[in-house]
Chain A
């Protein structure tokens, strides 16, 4: 599974990649900077749940959240959430494309 995250963690300005269950338990992660992965997984899952609960759309949602110091980008799939934390200079178009591909592959693995 770790190998699946490599295309994402290798992108410029990506600090960390986390795949977590929808209840916030880490499935796999890879980091280039010091990141509290458990907290990141829990928070990403929490926002995902909030989005799913409030909109009624529980899968195939991609969220780009921009803070002053960087991005939290994640996609909500049926069984998990895949997210990245990156700096202000990430290439959004590239990240979105790779994130979707990696998420589809992980979904394939989990669906097995």
Chain B
């Protein structure tokens, strides 16, 4: 590290310390780190959708249920939302040769696996899956 750079870093550190003394958790400039007000807007939005019929598509290209491959497209009524997952029941899996296949149990989808979703979707609607 060149002397100039070292000086820069030192100045930044000094500056940073000064800022902390002022009880300010903000970096100057490029980066602001917020550790106080955690808001999970997705969680809140999904909670507002409890009871609604929602179409979810998850990340993977395809899933496999005992030899049947299908695209991960799930349509159902949200019955429960946690910070980690959303649970649908009844839930319909859009299989190519069985587009109205009703899964016998509820299904939970990890929030981090949701690729996209659309609320107020009529699960009886026919959609091309290819």
Please indicate whether A and B come from the same complex rather than being unrelated chains.
no
Residues of A within 8 A of B (CB): none
